Amino acid sequence: MPASSPPIIVFDLDGTLVETAPDLIGALNYVLDREGLRPVPFASARNMIGAGARKLIERGLEVEGRAVTTAELNRLTTDFVDYYAEHIADGSRPFDGLEAALDRLDAQGHRLAVCTNKLEWLSKLLLDRLGLSPRFAAICGADTFGVAKPDPMFLRETVARAGGQLPGAIMVGDAGTDVGVARRAQVPVIGVDFGYTDVPMAELKPDRLISHMRDLPDAVASLTRP
């Protein structure tokens, strides 16, 4: 890719591109209900999202003070993934303004990619169902390279798979793992304040902070000006 090409933009998925909380929390509460436990309220569960299915289940169990063995947690995670895959786009939708923002970035020549701690096949399934997959040169999950955010190798390999170059790349995300992977890979990061995080994005001090996807192209432009 020529050095003068617009930089590649790499996105987190859950809480950044797509509001996936309805279906993730639905799967969590399905698993909890099968264990005879109370559902976790939506508002509480929303901030538990972001570290993968296994961690989400662990957090849901912690709310009930329930401890399980590794084997039980493996079983619950398998049940969660099976149910979630069947209901992955029941209520999940792109955040308002996303597609128009992606259209602008594409028209400006930016290559786009996804770097998520969600499993790759689930990420592709979700983006397929929402008609978003063709927009991205690469969709990489926590199992794609055997590492997860904030390991900088994950971001470097995602950029490479998408045919981009790390110098000048920009990360877009909603949580500490996104800021962390960007800092470790030494690329700027745009934070969104409408995603899933137990630490407000403003406190994580991204290079730019946006509250709506309509503001994304201008945030990208401000980071790429000479």
- Between helices 53-63 and 70-86, what is the axis angle to 10°? 110
Does residue 165 sit in the same domain as residue 120? yes
Average pLDDT over residues 173-195: 97
Does residue 36 sit in the same domain as residue 15? no
Q: What is the pTM of this model?
A: 0.93
Does residue 160 sit in the same domain as residue 144? yes
Does residue 80 sit in the same domain as residue 99? no
The tens digit of pLDDT for each residue in 129-148 reads 999 999 999 999 999 999 99
Does residue 45 sit in the same domain as residue 121? no
Q: Is residue 213 part of a domain?
A: yes
Does residue 75 sit in the same domain as residue 97? no
Is 218 among the catalytic positions?
A: no
Q: Is residue 143 part of a domain?
A: yes
Domain containing residue 135: CATH number:
3.40.50.1000
Domain count across the chain: 2
Range of the domain at 169: 9-19+93-224
Q: Pick the catalytic residue: 12, 23, 151, 178?
A: 12
Spatial CB neighbours of 208, under 8 Å, sequence gap ≥ 6: 188, 189, 190, 191, 219, 222, 223
For residues 141 and 150, give the distance between their C-alpha atoms in angstroms, rounded to a whole number: 12
- Predicted pLDDT at 201: 96
User: In the structure, what pLDDT confidence band is assigned to residue 62 with cuts at 50, 70 and 90?
Assistant: confident
Domain containing residue 69: CATH number:
1.10.150.240
